[in-house]
């Protein structure tokens, strides 16, 4: 496998469910990111992990809980979400640690989340 892979690609959940999004990067990168894209809005940065430490939490509600068990894997745990949380969630990675270079992001294809 190559690049950044996200699973599941589509997820429908009720407001009381607990689910998780998974991201895996096969690039040997040192930083991983969660972005949210709502309809007609720019990509919004949610969380950044650099060298497996969370370095950025962009005022995200606690119903979103990230986890980075190692440099290749990133999870987004979802609990008691609201319908307005329905969006495309993109994972990305970059070669150098946060703030360490101007290197581009490598994105996964996203997980389309629908909250009923």
**Least distance in angstroms from the C-beta of 74 to another protein:** 15
Candidates 16-24, 59-67, 79-87, 101-109: pick the segment binding another protein (CB under 8 A).
101-109
**Least distance in angstroms from the C-beta of 107 to another protein:** 4
Closer CB to another protein, 45 or 60, in the complex: 45
Q: State how far the alpha carbon of 64 is from the alpha carbons of 61, 80, 102, 103, in Å.
A: 6, 9, 28, 27
- Report the residue from 42, 62, 69, 70 that binds another protein according to the rule CB under 8 A: 42
> What is the rounded distance in angstroms from the CA atom of residue 23 to the CA atom of residue 34?
9
Give residue 6's region: left, alpha or beta (phi > 0; psi -120 to 50).
Answer: beta
Please return the burial class of 99, using the count of CB atoms within 10 Å of its CB with bins 0-12, 13-18 and 19+: exposed
**Least distance in angstroms from the C-beta of 79 to another protein:** 26
Return the SS3 of 84.
helix
Dig out the tokens for 88 from the structure: 């495309």
Residues 53-72, one symbol each (x = binds another protein by CB under 8 A, - = not), give ---x----------------
Residues that bind another protein (CB under 8 A): 3-4, 40-43, 45, 56, 90, 98-99, 102-110
């Amino acid at each position: 496998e190559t690049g950044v892979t996200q699973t599941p690609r589509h997820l429908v959940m009720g407001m009381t469910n607990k689910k998780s999004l998974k991201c895996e990067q096969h690039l040997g990168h040192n930083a991983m990111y969660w972005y949210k894209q709502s309809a007609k809005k720019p990509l919004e940065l949610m969380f950044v992990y650099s060298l497996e430490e969370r370095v950025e939490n962009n005022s995200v509600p606690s119903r979103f809980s990230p986890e980075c068990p190692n440099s290749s894997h990133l999870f987004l745990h979802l609990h008691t979400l609201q319908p307005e949380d329905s969006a495309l969630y993109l994972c990305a990675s970059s070669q150098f640690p946060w703030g360490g270079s101007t290197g581009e992001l490598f994105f996964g294809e996203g997980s389309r989340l629908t909250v009923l």
